[in-house]
Amino acid sequence: MPANFMSDWPHSPLHRLGQAGSYMVTCGTYENEHHFRGAQRLEFLHDILLGLAEEYGWNLQAWAVFSNHYHFVAMSPPDAETLVLFLKKLHAATAMAVNRWDGIPGRQVWFQYRDTHLTFLKSYYARLNYVHTNPDHHRLVAVPSQYPWCSAAWFERRATTAFYKTVMGFKSDRVNAPDDFEIDWRPDEQ
């Protein structure tokens, strides 16, 4: 049996995390269920994502969380393979919490995640733009910085004017990211 047999299984995304660098990660809920609908649940998912990224040494550059999926772009620590542990802990903690809140122990909450090692500057900029503007892509807000569970407002405050204009002016319409998630909850719906 080839050494890469399991990682190249055709029914799951490949995870080749051998090199440190920038990565984009996308993950959706099982059957696209909206387990994180509502401000409190979104805040919970958002805060755990940011906290665990810091705990595992992943420097988030852009992030967006929604009721049924999330995206982030991050710089890895020297050992990029820690992404597996980081996401395992994120998914376990959030799944246990929503299952407890809903009274459905053991339910599968998350589905497969995709990671992409970003090796070209243009690809990195396009994905930063894509993730920062994802709330607009889903028509949740008029301006991405109005969506509280993404990095757009943080990026607007923290980036230099030149870098902000470069990233936000970059085209991201050709980014190959699985994002056919339907959103059925708006931030103004409590």
Confidence of residue 171 (pLDDT cuts 50, 70, 90): confident
Superfamily of domain 22-168: Transposase IS200-like (3.30.70.1290)
Question: What are the tens digits of pLDDT across the range 13-67?
Answer: 444 556 889 999 999 999 999 999 999 999 999 999 999 999 999 999 999 999 9
Q: Is 31 left (phi over 0), alpha (psi -120 to 50) or beta?
A: left
- The residues, any chain, with a CB within 8 Å of residue 52's CB and separated by 6 or more, are 86, 89, 90, 93
State pTM to two decimals: 0.86
